[in-house]
Amino acid sequence: MKIKTSEFVISNTDYKKCPNPDKPEYAFTGRSNVGKSSLINMLTNRKNLAKTSGKPGKTQLINHFLINDSWYLADLPGYGYAKVSRQQRNIWKGFIKDYILNRENLMNIFVLIDIRHKPQKNDLDFMQKLGENGIPFVIIFTKADKLSKKQIQENISGYKEELLNTWEEIPDFFISSAINKTGQKEILDFISETNKLFEK
């Protein structure tokens, strides 16, 4: 798939106010500062479609983008550490949960994980919740340009080992880098194939 058009549609905190669910939708989320905005910009070949920031917690709303006039990309607030109050984090947690459980055209959630780190409890807990609720998801390991190929394989092996403690099989995953566009084709091809499964 080649992305020819990408445009911002709406931001909100209520899934009922999201765009009409007449097209397939893919949500991107992960721990704060995992490189989510950079990945979205890389996938869409746009420098500033999603706003990047060095500070965790920049995205505080559900941001919808229309891609190729045929599918929606939803940029969700990150979870985990962010320099906001506990009350604000709980609000995010509530509307993100409502969105994930009720958005009827949601085809897949991309859970972004920084490849440089060992398995983190909040990543594992989040994926566990998705699995318990039957929400389809795929892992994207980000920032692959920061490690050698050997280190990447070692860290992924560590994740596989951890996941197999609770999962019967390893969820699908992609390796990505926003810097050198690693994973761009594979992720977009996955979306293209999954789009075919959408039924209005």
Per-residue DSSP letters for 142-184?
E-GGGS-HHHHHHHHHHHHHHHTTT-SSPPPEEE-BTTTTBTH
Of the pLDDT bands very low, low, confident and very high (cuts 50, 70, 90), residue 52 is: low
pLDDT for the residue 200:
63
Split at pLDDT 50, 70, 90, the class of 57 is very low
pLDDT of residue 90: 57
Rg (CA), the chain: 16
Contact between residue 140 and residue 113 where contact means Cβ atoms under 8 Å apart? yes
Average pLDDT of the residues in 74-98: 68
Residue-range domain boundaries for the chain: 6-195
Using alpha carbons, select from 27, 28, 30, 29 the residue that is nearest to residue 117: 30
Residue 13: C-alpha distances to residues 94, 96, 152, 182, 196 (Å): 9, 8, 36, 32, 28
The pLDDT tens digits of the residues spanning 141-153 come to 999 999 999 999 9
Beta carbons within 8 Å of 36's beta carbon, 6+ residues apart: 28, 29, 30, 50, 59, 75, 78, 112, 142
Instruction: Supply the mean pLDDT for the chain.
Output: 88
How far is Cα 148 from Cα 144, in angstroms, rounded to an integer?
8
pLDDT of residue 122: 84
Tell me the whole-structure pTM to 2 decimals: 0.89
Q: Which of 124, 121, 153 is nearest to 137 (CA)?
A: 124
Token output for 185 = 């084709």
Fold observed for domain 6-195: Rossmann fold (3.40.50)
